[in-house]
Chain A
Amino acid sequence: MLAPTAALGQKGAASARDGSMEKFTRLSGVAAPMPLVNIDTDMIIPKQFLKTIKRTGLGANLFDEMRFDRDGNEIEDFVLNRPAYREARILVAGDNFGCGSSREHAPWALLDFGIRCVISTSFADIFYNNCFKNGILPIKLPKEQVDALMEDAERGSNARMTVDLEEQTITGSDGETFGFEIDPFRKHCLLNGLDDIGLTVETAAMSIDAYEAKAAERRPWL
């Protein structure tokens, strides 16, 4: 089980890139509400922080321009600056979360801050994909359910939710439970912290060799 403290203690563990990523099994923690629609990856991690050649350390600048003023002071009413949400592990967000740039720095920043799960009605495709590569679980739910969880999240530090990947459920602070869908392959990889490259080499190397040989005959100009 991933207790919030454990998640905190392992900040950025998946970033070490030792050939595996941190498993995601069960997550229990505070959920922060971000009802704004179309939150883009430029908001999640502004460009000036993309000049790093590392995956770690980006949590300090997560949502930088919404979270801090120009002098680096916290903007008081930004959700993650409010005392109740400073250790949020889950985000409940408006439609089309993660749109825009393909920067994987966005999930790296979320992970480094301690966010392991984002719940929304919809996600931009590239961001959605990038989450799974980093042990973050993005959950798509119908609007009524996101609205209910958003309301739950508004309750501050009392808004503890539990996400169980094996069971594919989210349980709100009042015990109400919602089921969610997830691609079985992605679920398997998250539950076991599997590295995609290792998997591909293991399962598909011969097929790739064969494909290349066939393609060289069919499309020799490539």
Chain B
Amino acid sequence: MIAEAGLAALWLAAALCGLQLVFGIMALRSDGTGAVNAIRPVAIIQGLLTVFSFAMLVWLFMRTDLSVELVAANSHSAKPMIYKFSGTWGNHEGSMLLWVAILALSGSLVAMFEKRLKERTLTATLAAQAAIGLGFYAFLIFASNPFARLSPAAVEGRGLNPLLQDPGLAFHPPTLYVGYVGLSIAFSFAVGALLTRDVGPTFARAMRPWVLASWIFLTIGIAAGSYWAYYELGWGGWWFWDPVENASLMPWLAATALLHSVTVLATRDALRAWTIMLAVVAFSMSMLGTFLVRSGVLTSVHAFAVDPQRGGFILALLIIYIGGALALYATRVSTVREGAQFEFMSREGALVANNLLLSAILGIVLIGTLYPLGVEAVTGEQLSVGPPYFNATAGPLALLLVAAMAVGPLLRWRRDSWRNVMNRISLPVLITALALMALVFLASPIGILPMLGLMLAAGVAAASIAPLWKRNLRRTPMFIYGMVIAHLGIAVSMAGMAFESAFSEEVLVASAPGETHQVGPYSVTFDGTRPVAGPNWTAIEGGLTVQRGDGDPFVLAPQSRMFSSPQTETNEAAIRTGWTGQLYTVLGSTDGNGRSQLRLWYKPFVTLIWFGALLIALGGLLSLIGRVRREKRAMEREAWA
């Protein structure tokens, strides 16, 4: 009965969603007062029902109920409990249910907590959220029902893709999804504001926390995904420009741009039409990513079971929602009054530069992701667009962007003078120059991008702290700290990337037991291999005794695993993290004469990449808390006045 309860909850939620849309339309056609009070509970109950439905699916997976088709196809009774749990969303139907649950829950949260927005605009926003919801409920119920029964029940499940049997997977997709789908709120806000022509600072202040929250989750999700690929795929790289990675990067780029333009709108009432556009684009990129991954149009390590019918369904939803929003934009935005004006040399100017550069990078990633598809559709030829294209095009723009980021916070709103600006950025510029000299004299020749990256990282780190200069640190608002930490995080992350690409050392050997290899500061002795077994896999494990200089030796044990169901091999890298870098070891195949392939990397400061990303997310969090607190205080003041 668990499956039936889950499905019933889903149908009920879909019905409430329809009701929410009808209420919203009726309210907008009349004067709309009071409708919010009717819509709010509907949205909240709808969210709770989808969460209940998702909980039922989790329960089915935990029990390994093999009378449910989805469980039989993706789970296995011998699987460790945590992967039974995370297996719930390691497949198409489960992950779409998670998607819809987050969508409905986002609507509930807006219904519960949004007090700032004008009532009419809020009604329109919730109606837009319901319109999105309806399409995805239909997709779930008619084309991807996760609760379908299997009769007769299977004797044993087929198992979960071993690459996905990893603790990282338990949290990476849900985090990313919260970010993706959270952007639906920004989209609905934009549509709502277009419908009621209510685009201004109040609207921007109301929208900002929601965008910030989604953006924090996106940031963490992308960083976690990158680290997962880094240690689980055993290729030693941290970003592959894989289409699915790009699909998560694109909403992040759009959301980052939106985050900054919404601040301009909130503070200076400028960039109205542009902010609306970005809000539409950000969620469109989320939906596009879902389409690309779920339709099977893309070939990638992430492509799960595919079905062109589903692709067609999602494409139809894309056309309706994105097309509808853009048509609304085209007809309505010209009636939105133009915002305030500003000079190029100003905070707004720097933020516009930030937005243009982010959009350009977004365009580059979008084209690079879709180009192979286009070429194949037209000529049938297969090609892949990889790091050479992305690094050469997005790399320089990213460096420019970071430079703009360093200067931006040091500029005044509205207008600033060149001389004052020069004054304020002199110290960061000096530090950049010093870093350049240090690199030229102390380091062996390195590539131009890593060189610029390291230089800029030093300068940007200094510049990002500079806004705190001469401020009363105790009275500085929390969101300023948020900005400082997030920007510092960019510098830290960039330093990690540049270090990794400039100073990594790699050793690839066919090693006999007893041989010692030197990589970076580590000497690695191969002790031989032995078989080991886990709950649902067997493995060849390599023994490595590692010593750093005269330090204490330690043992690393990389594995080459064979999973029993389904049969797949994976490489489990063994990694040692030190203060100055990581030693990354992978065991390859054995050649039959007792020699084993070993891949050893020394990657100095590589962990800074993800540490920086965490700083960025932390900055976002501080900013969110600071903003929400300030809004709350402002509202209390208004209530008293």
Q: Tell me if chain B binds chain A.
A: no
